[in-house]
Amino acid sequence: MATTQKRTFHPVALLTGAEFWGAIGLQIALFVAPLIALKIFDATPMHIAALNLTESAAALVFGLAVAGFVGKLGGARAITFANALRVLSCTIVAVSLYTQPSLWILFIALFLLGIASLLNEAGVNTAVVEFVGRDGKSLNRANSLLRTSGVLSELGGIGLGGLVVSLLTFATTMWVGSFSFAVALVLSLMVWLAAPTKARPAPEPCETDTVRPSFNGLRFIWNNDFLKRLTLTSFHFNFFSSIFQAVFIIYCVRVLDFEPWALAVVGVAGGIGGLVGAALASTPFAETHAKRLYCLAITLPGVSILIMLAAQLFSNVPARITLVALPDFAFGLCMVLCIVLFNTAKQQSSPDSMVGDIAATERTIALGGEVPGFLLGGAIATVISVQYSMAAAVVGILFSAVWMLRLKHWPETPAPVVA
């Protein structure tokens, strides 16, 4: 018994470390990229909007190909390749800033980060099932552990990025991000080496094309009522959430007159909420009431945004910060709880040979809602006002769970799913 625990825990611990350092690097890169565009290249608002869309657009364009790629590589290898791609993206930006700065290099780097993020996410979904099996409690705990690591590193990454930028240079900050990705690369390589080898059937001649497995994942999702509804909720929520995210910073800075320290307080509150959500997701209560909690977690963020809108009615700065920070705490809690329950259910419903394929395909579909959501949020804010964009997000998010209403079951600990 002790030997079995050691064999399963060790790769998960390494995987958690890889996720931690990878998320730190990602937050540093995403934090500093818009600042580079503004300070060095005097970017216009449209440049910034395009920059924010690049990561999602890359994953959207290449998502199905990545799905097939993960299906062939397996979880640990996919994570390793993703971290190598992340190291490359930060390195080329750092080198370009030292030699010949170019805005296009920044776009290329974020494009690579988008592909790498999708590859990493699909690889993690595959690796978790490979290491812990399909038991609901074990999956919830593993996913909660990984998400907790991600939330902690997001908080640390933003703070570290801000500190390095303040004290040193943009190029140095990108080198710090590259170093963080390099640590994640080493740990993911160790996961690859520590992973128990499983005999994989040789691919049939018709499966040599990486695109075919990706469409198999799409077909499997569409023919599986549960996965189809789960994916539709993700698409729906991402679309309306992106409308909100497109204007949230503008609302805080231009409407509420928040200083950077106030934004930091709000961000920390959201991160703490994420930690609470991860802890809740790992409890037996969450496993027992997974469907109800998921529906609540994907709906309540609409209420959070509504409370944030009420902050403009107060002139007192502490009151405004409170009315944004507390809802952001709830928003972060709901998001992490939703992600953990979503990933666990998705992993339990996917065949062993298609976990990464289905994860990447689902993520690609979800990203299909982000790009138009960002554009619509910006358009509404430009034509009418920021508040109308947020109101549209509220209405849409409140109906996110409608796709799950007629669903009568939620995956429990099943026998292995066969494609």
- The SS3 call for residue 1 is coil
- φ/ψ of 196, rounded to 5, equals -65, 135
Q: Which residue has the higher pLDDT, 2 or 62?
A: 62
Residue type, 393: A
pLDDT in tens, 332-376: 888 888 888 877 777 777 666 666 666 667 777 777 777 788 788
CA–CA dist 146, 355 (Å, integer):
17
Classified as helix, coil or strand, 408 is coil
DSSP-assigned states of every residue in 303-370: HHHHHHHHGGG---HHHHHHHHHHHHHHHHHHHHHHHHHHHHHHHHTS-GGGHHHHHHHHHHHHHHHH
Q: Is 108 helix (H, G, I), strand (E, B) or coil?
A: helix
Per-residue pLDDT reduced to its tens digit, 233-255: 888 888 898 888 877 877 877 78
Q: Who has greater pLDDT, 378 or 59?
A: 378
For CA atoms 224, 230, 234, 235, the dihedral sign is: positive
Nearest partner of 74 among 185, 183, 191, 184, judged by Cα: 191
Q: What are the chain's domains?
A: 1-194 (1.20.1250.20), 223-404 (1.20.1250.20)
- Give the number of other Cβ atoms within 10 Å of residue 316's Cβ: 10
- For residue 97, pLDDT over 50 is answered with yes
- Average pLDDT on 294-319 reads 90
Task: Write down the residue that tokens 């023919």 correspond to.
Answer: 223
SS3 62: helix
Q: Are the C-beta atoms of 136 and 413 separated by less than 8 Å?
A: yes
Place 7 in a pLDDT band, splitting at 50, 70 and 90.
very low
For range 7-13, the mean pLDDT: 58
pTM tops 0.75, yes or no: no
pLDDT score recorded for residue 259? 72
**DSSP state letter for 254:** I
